[in-house]
Chain A
């Protein structure tokens, strides 16, 4: 009996570490494997992963459906763009500022919005996107309106005598990858902490969480702020990548894309958001082969997702990961 057991154990190898090494290698070598267009698509996927991580904290972990993510994405983009163009501040400073400004703005927006019930809260967050777009269009002296804000310089880093400018798609890919890795780890650390457990408690049953001492109102506001910070950082990277910011950054379409990434990838799972970003940005890019049918095909894919993968790809990812790890 012990023989078969050991036999089984040797057959069920833990392949997680080798798989992780392969994935990391692919991520690092991606610009050299695929074409420039593939690298460009990957950068877009990485950029969307940032607000999506934030949204996952809000929707997936705390159970608050928000459409405001595109608003904070746009605010982050404009904040970084304005600072870079007007003050010439370096990239890393603008990145931090974009995150902090969005986090700070989330407080006055969140305090009234979070007092609303589920559906009213969603409508309210939708309003933020529309207001954001209206302001970016009409405050012409600040945003230059529909002309947009152009001439955002390439990110550069200075460390003493050393300076480095990130130019070209390949370099930008590594910059985006580094930022995304940091923020993915940050999101992971948040959900793994006791606070992450309290967030899940609020999602599962707010009154019960409250009765067990969790200050649910403060938690919801803090998570709303954190999600705005993630979106702001994403907006900053987006602005630097396109070198132009226009009112189009405040698009409802972006909010829905981020929501599709989170829900389709698997709400309440960090890896779900990672897979979701790559998959859905990949999908929209892949469907460009048939421009007329693109949105129809996209819609069809969503229908398939809803019917066959009700919880997104998360359960699938879990099963795959466990299988790779040698579990039954």
Chain B
């Protein structure tokens, strides 16, 4: 029955920093299996909206319902671990001193070992689980096209490759939903293509739903089934990508002309 419910429902979310209303009474939902886009000018509250939805910041008001469960007020790590909703950051972040494979193994650990106590375990079971994680990591590394550099420290790789590591890491725990904060920022067109392919693959083959913040309108129109527009902390519009880019208000506020 829950299959018909949206995977994520956010109701009346508000967040202020001092006198600035970063997010003002925004409600959105993301359907199961959907790739949704979130666009808007810089400073429109997109990242704050992400932070409040994923537990990095506490919303002043509003509820966040993930897969039928109220997760408002959960910490970032709990939402990731128990809710399987993962997020990326605007600035590309990886564990720079560790190699690509270790980066991915870490990403899968808290999902394979259900408690902290279990992660301290040695024993055969623990080793088996790690072997399983390593296999999955290698599969994803191959898919992301990082096979040749899998034993290089992440910090030595290019920005685009680090984006791919970040992306592959988020697929390690078999997530339900991934929130991407400007995944295409600062990477070359060839890698953009690879990231787009990976998103499509994760969506179609792994059944992961997405909410993507992106400034690259071509990417948004090509991958997103539905787009929401934020402006000055409020939702300005919502609809199909090609309707949105024709919308007069959106053109004035964001796209220009």
B111 and A213 within 8 A (CB): yes
Enumerate chain B residues within 8 angstroms of A214, measured Cβ to Cβ. 77, 106, 109-110
Per-residue interface assignment for chain B, residues 199 to 215, with 1 indicating a CB less than 8 Å from any chain A CB and 0 otherwise: 00000000000000000
Number of interface residues of B (CB under 8 A): 37
B116 and A219 within 8 A (CB): yes
Q: How many A-B residue pairs have CB under 8 A?
A: 93
Per-residue interface assignment for chain A, residues 190 to 212, with 1 indicating a CB less than 8 Å from any chain B CB and 0 otherwise: 10111101101100110111111
B87 and A211 within 8 A (CB): yes
Enumerate chain A residues within 8 angstroms of B86, measured Cβ to Cβ. 211-212
- Most chain A Cβ neighbours within 10 Å, of B54, B56, B107: B107
Enumerate chain B residues within 8 angstroms of A194, measured Cβ to Cβ. 109, 112-113, 119-121, 126, 130
Q: How far is the CA of A188 from the CA of B122 in the complex (A)?
A: 11
Q: Which among B31-39, B89-97, B137-145 touches the partner chain?
A: B89-97
Enumerate chain B residues within 8 angstroms of A209, measured Cβ to Cβ. 95, 106
A215 and B119 within 8 A (CB): no
How far apart are B126's CB and chain A's nearest CB, in angstroms?
Answer: 7
Answer whether residue B169 sits at the interface, using C-beta atoms and an 8 A cutoff.
yes
How far apart are A22's CB and chain B's nearest CB, in angstroms?
Answer: 28
B97 and A215 within 8 A (CB): no
Enumerate chain A residues within 8 angstroms of B113, measured Cβ to Cβ. 194
How far apart are B88's CB and chain A's nearest CB, in angstroms?
Answer: 8
- How many chain A residues sit at the interface, stated as a range, is 20 to 34
Answer whether residue A288 sits at the interface, using C-beta atoms and an 8 A cutoff.
no
Q: A193-B122, A211-B86, A213-B111 are in contact. Are A222 and B116 (CB under 8 A)?
A: yes
B94 and A208 within 8 A (CB): yes
Chain A residues touching B, majority SS: helix
Answer whether residue A216 sits at the interface, using C-beta atoms and an 8 A cutoff.
yes
Answer whether residue A189 sits at the interface, using C-beta atoms and an 8 A cutoff.
yes
Enumerate chain A residues within 8 angstroms of B172, measured Cβ to Cβ. 212
B169 and A212 within 8 A (CB): yes
B116 and A218 within 8 A (CB): yes
Answer whether residue B237 sits at the interface, using C-beta atoms and an 8 A cutoff.
no
Q: How far is the CA of A190 from the CA of B109 in the complex (A)?
A: 15
> Restricting to B72-126, which residues have a CB under 8 Å from any CB of A?
75-78, 80-81, 86-87, 89, 93-98, 102, 105-107, 109-113, 116, 119-122, 126
Q: A195-B116, A213-B173, A216-B77 are in contact. Are A207 and B93 (CB under 8 A)?
A: yes
Enumerate chain B residues within 8 angstroms of A212, measured Cβ to Cβ. 77, 80, 86, 106-107, 110, 169-170, 172-173
B93 and A205 within 8 A (CB): yes
Enumerate chain B residues within 8 angstroms of A210, measured Cβ to Cβ. 75-77, 80
Q: How far is the CA of A194 from the CA of B107 in the complex (A)?
A: 11
Q: How far is the CA of A152 from the CA of B95 in the complex (A)?
A: 48
From A193, A198, A207, B106 is in contact (CB under 8 Å) with A198
Enumerate chain A residues within 8 angstroms of B81, measured Cβ to Cβ. 213, 215
> Restricting to A131-145, which residues have a CB under 8 Å from any CB of B?
none
Enumerate chain A residues within 8 angstroms of B102, measured Cβ to Cβ. 197
Enumerate chain A residues within 8 angstroms of B106, measured Cβ to Cβ. 197-198, 200-201, 209, 212, 214
From B80, B93, B122, A213 is in contact (CB under 8 Å) with B80
Q: How far is the CA of A213 from the CA of B170 in the complex (A)?
A: 11
B77 and A215 within 8 A (CB): yes
A204 and B98 within 8 A (CB): yes
Closest to B130 in A: A194
Closest to B118 in A: A194
Q: A212-B80, A212-B86, A213-B81 are in contact. Are A200 and B119 (CB under 8 A)?
A: no
Could you give 11 example pairs across A and B, Cβ below 8 Å? A193-B119, A193-B126, A194-B121, A198-B119, A201-B95, A204-B98, A207-B89, A207-B93, A212-B80, A213-B110, A214-B110
Q: Which residues of B contact A (CB under 8 A)?
A: 54, 56, 75-78, 80-81, 86-87, 89, 93-98, 102, 105-107, 109-113, 116, 119-122, 126, 130, 169-170, 172-173
